[in-house]
Amino acid sequence: MSQPYQGRHRNVPRQGRSASRSSGLVRAVRRPAVTSSLLLAVVATTAAGYQATDGRQTGTAAFTVSSEAIEQANEQSDNQIEDTARLAADRNETNTSIAAAQEKDRVAALAAQAAAEKARRDRAEQVARDKARQALEAKKQALLANAQKDPRAAARALMGDYGFGDGQWSCLDNLWMGESGWRWTATNSSSGAYGIPQSLPGSKMATVADDWQTNPVTQIKWGLQYIKSSYGTPCGAWSAWQSRSPHWY
C-alpha cells in the first residue's frame, strides 16, 4: 500500500514558516506613523515576490516581503513623520502669529481707551478751571466795584488781617480822612502822593498789585502794612499825624 504524499516541506515547522514570512512585515508595522493604507501599499508592492515553496501556485502558498519594500515603507513612514511635524510647526507658528496680532490689537485698544479717557478728564478739568477763574474774576470785579463805592467798608473788613481790632477803626478812619478824604484817586499836587493812604510815590503800592492806581483794596492793603511796620497801629499813626504840621505820617 503506497504512503500518502506529505509535501516537500513536511519537516518544516508551521510556526517557523509563519514567523519567517511575517518578520519583515512586523518590523515595518511597528513604526508609529505607518497607517493601514501604507501597510496595504507594502503588501501590494511585495505581491510580486510571493513564491510558492514548491514552485507551484497553491491556495496556501508561502510569501516573503522584500527588503526593498521594507526600506520603501520605512522611508515613506519617515517622510510622513516629517510632514506631520512640519504641519504641526506651521500650525503652531500661525497660531502664535494670530495670538500676537490679537494681543497687539488688544493693547492698542486699551491705549486708545486710556488716551480718550485722559482727554475727557483734561477737558473736564479745563472747564472746571475756566469756571473757577471766571468766578474769581467776577468776585474780584464785584469787590473792586464795592471798594470803589465804599472804601471804608473794605478797610474795616481788612483790618483784622493785619492784627488790628475794631478799637483801631476810628483812628484809621480819621487818619485817612485827613490824608485823602478816602478817595482812591486822590493826588497831592505838590508831593505827588497818591491814593487813599497817600503813598509817596504812588508806585510803592505796586508791591501789593499792579492795579494800585484803580483798586482801593490794593491801596488799603499797602497802607495797613505801612502803618503796622512804621507805627504799630492805626492809633499810633494817627497820633504821629496829629503831632506834625503840616500833617503827615
The mean pLDDT value for 185-191 works out to: 95
Residue of 167 and 20 predicted with greater confidence:
167
Distance CA 147, CA 152 (A): 8
Residue 184 in grid coordinates: 482812591
Of 64-68, 81-85, 98-102, 197-201, least confident by mean pLDDT is 64-68
What does pLDDT average to over the chain? 82
Cβ–Cβ < 8 Å for 25, 18: no
Three-class DSSP category at 194: strand
Of 7-21, 147-161, 196-210, 218-232, least confident by mean pLDDT is 7-21
Residue 132 in grid coordinates: 473757577
pLDDT of residue 77: 86
Q: How confident is the model at residue 242 (pLDDT cuts 50, 70, 90)?
A: very high
The mean pLDDT value for 42-52 works out to: 50
Kindly tell me if the per-residue pLDDT of 19 is higher than 50: no
The domain spans of the chain are 14-82, 152-243
Q: Which amino acid is at 189?
A: S
Residue of 110 and 36 predicted with greater confidence:
110
The mean pLDDT value for 69-95 works out to: 88
pLDDT of residue 46: 52
Greatest alpha-carbon pair distance for the chain in Å reads 181
Kindly tell me if the per-residue pLDDT of 205 is higher than 70: yes
The mean pLDDT value for 155-179 works out to: 97
Q: How confident is the model at residue 68 (pLDDT cuts 50, 70, 90)?
A: confident
Kindly tell me if the per-residue pLDDT of 26 is higher than 90: no
Q: Which of 51, 43, 47 is nearest to 9 (CA)?
A: 51
39 Cβ contact list (under 8 Å, min separation 6): 25, 28, 29, 73
Distance CA 199, CA 109 (A): 64
Distance CA 107, CA 112 (A): 9
* Percentage of the chain modeled with pLDDT above 70: 75
249, burial (CB in 10 Å: exposed 0-12, middle 13-18, buried 19+): buried
Kindly tell me if the per-residue pLDDT of 192 is higher than 70: yes
- Specify the DSSP class assigned to residue 199: B
Q: How confident is the model at residue 115 (pLDDT cuts 50, 70, 90)?
A: very high
Kindly tell me if the per-residue pLDDT of 100 is higher than 90: yes
